[in-house]
Structure 1
Amino acid sequence: MLKEKRKQRKIRQSLTWAGLPLVAVLGWLYPWLGFLLLGCMVGAVGVAIFRGRAWCDWMCPRGAFFDLFVRPLSQKKTIPAFFRSRAVRVFMLGLIFTMIGIQWYLAWGDGAAMGLALVRILTVTTVVGIILGLLIHPRIWCHICPMGTLSHWLSRGKEPLSIGKTCTVCRACARACPMQLKPYEYRLDGTMGDNDCIKCGTCVAACPRRALSFRSGHGEKEAGLVA
């Protein structure tokens, strides 16, 4: 089941990853492509309002690229708590939008130059993400990505992962999670309170006790079946 789920994710990600080099590489020749980045920004926030960070699973070209091409070469180390701190996230959010704002102010009225500013930001942050991904973990950038941060804040209560009483804390969910989250830690709460969940369903497929689901009330139903 886990193998099939990962296969499905790869198929979906294969449909979107090319959007990253399209903008980050060809954008230097055709600056107007940079405005596609705005579409991704709107998409990430829009989806977060209804489904949490689901955009980051496979709809985000950069996230898909990291999973498909960086993950096989990554050291896959534990992501330091530093990268998940509120202070770092707020700093990165402010830094990126300040840089975009300054460049747009200087280039205002010149569409190509404004598009190139977005290409420049995307290229630099992608290079940083690849380096961090290779040295630490492929999805480490997703924890400090400005749009990921906004999605994180908007995700509270949106399609939360249910953890049933059949959970035995085997930690199979944590080992499978591409974001290095730990659903089992929320067993007593019944739902996972970590808003960085990208709704990929990998943990659900990995659970040997069928204790996880994105369906409301699943945990209670499963507990009743076992009892």
Structure 2
Amino acid sequence: MLREKLLERRKRQLYTWIGLPLVAVGGWFYPWLGFLLLGCMLGAVGLSFSRGRAWCDWMCPRGAFFDLFLSSLSAKRSTPAFFRSWPVRIFFLILIFAVIGVQWYLNWGNIPAMGLALVKVLTVTTLVGVLLGLIFHPRAWCLICPMGTLANLFGRGKKPLLVAPSCVGCGVCSRFCPLKLQPHFFRQQGVMGDGDCLKCGSCVAACPRQALSFGEKSLSRQVGSVRL
């Protein structure tokens, strides 16, 4: 079951990763391609209202690229905890939107220049993501990605991962999670209160006790105990 799940996910990512070089490389020659980035941003946030960070699983071209091409090169170390702290995440969120806002303000009405501004942001953040992926784990950037942060905020509690009492805390789920989250830490609560879950289902397929599943249980009582 695990093998089939991982292969299915990989096949989907093989279709979407191409969007990254299309914009990050092609955008320097055809700046209007930069506006495709807006579609990705809207997709991540829009889908979060019903399915949490599901967009970031395989629909995000950059996330797919990281999974496909950095996995064999990454040191696969644990990402420092401060990366997921809200001050750091909000800083990157404000920084990225401020950079785009200033560039658009200075070039308002100049469509190629506005598109190129998006291409530049995508290129720089992707290079940072590759560096982090090599030093830590492939998806390290996704922990501070501004769109991921918004999807976390807006998608909290949507299609939550349920943790059954049969969970023994073995940690196998964490080994197969793209973001190295730890569902077994929430076995006492019965539901994973971590908004960064990508809903990929890898942990569900990997659990030897079949203790994980996706459901609709409310997370309202878990918000205060979310691990960041």
TM-score clears 0.5:
yes
* Seq. identity, %: 65
The answer as to 2:145 corresponding to 1:145 is: yes
| 1: CA distance, partners of 2:137 / 2:199 | 19
Q: In 2, distance between residues paired with 1:2 and 1:102?
A: 46
**Structure 1 runs not aligned, ≥5 long:** 218-227
Q: Within 5 Å, which residues of 2 pair with 1:100-111?
A: 100-111=100-111
Between structure 1 and structure 2, the one with the greater Rg is 1
Residue 177 of structure 1 corresponds to 177
RMSD over aligned Cα atoms: 0.8
Secondary structure of the corresponding residue to residue 72 of structure 1: coil
Matches within 5 A, 1:54-69: 54-69=54-69
* Amino acid in structure 2 at the alignment position of 1:117: A
Q: Provide the rounded CA distance (Å) in 2 between the counterparts of 1:156 and 1:112.
A: 36
Match of 1:96 in 2: 96
Q: Which amino acid aligns with 1:30?
A: Y
Map residues 205-216 of structure 1 onto 2, 5 A cutoff: 205-216=205-216
Distance in 2, matches of 1:197 and 1:216, equals 14
Which deviations, in whole Å up to 9, do the C-alpha atoms of 1:61-103 show, x marking residues without a partner?
0000000001111000001101100000000000000000111
Deviations, residues 174-205 of structure 1 (Å, cap 9, x unaligned): 11111110000100111000000000000000
Matched residues, number: 217
CA distance in 1 between counterparts of 2:124 and 2:179 reads 22
- 1:215 Cα deviation from its structure 2 partner: 3.2
> Which residue pairs with 2:46 in the alignment?
46
Query: Quick one: distance in 2 between partners of 1:81 and 1:154?
Result: 22
Which residue matches 1:115? 115
- SS of the residue corresponding to residue 39 of structure 1 reads helix
Q: Is the 8 A contact 2:10 2:68 kept in 1?
A: yes
Whole-angstrom distance in 2 between the partners of 1:54 and 1:136: 22
Q: Give the partner amino acid of 1:180.
A: K
> Can you list the C-alpha shifts for 1:102-159, whole angstroms capped at 9, x where unaligned?
1101111100000000000000000000011011111010011110000010121100
- Runs of at least 4 residues off by over 3 Å: none
Map 1:13-24; keep pairs closer than 5 Å: 13-24=13-24
Deviation at 1:216, TM superposition (A): 4.6
Secondary structure of residue in 2 paired with 1:71: coil
Secondary structure of the corresponding residue to residue 196 of structure 2 = coil
Q: Secondary structure at the match of 2:102?
A: helix
Contact 2:158–2:216, Cα closer than 8 Å, also in 1: no
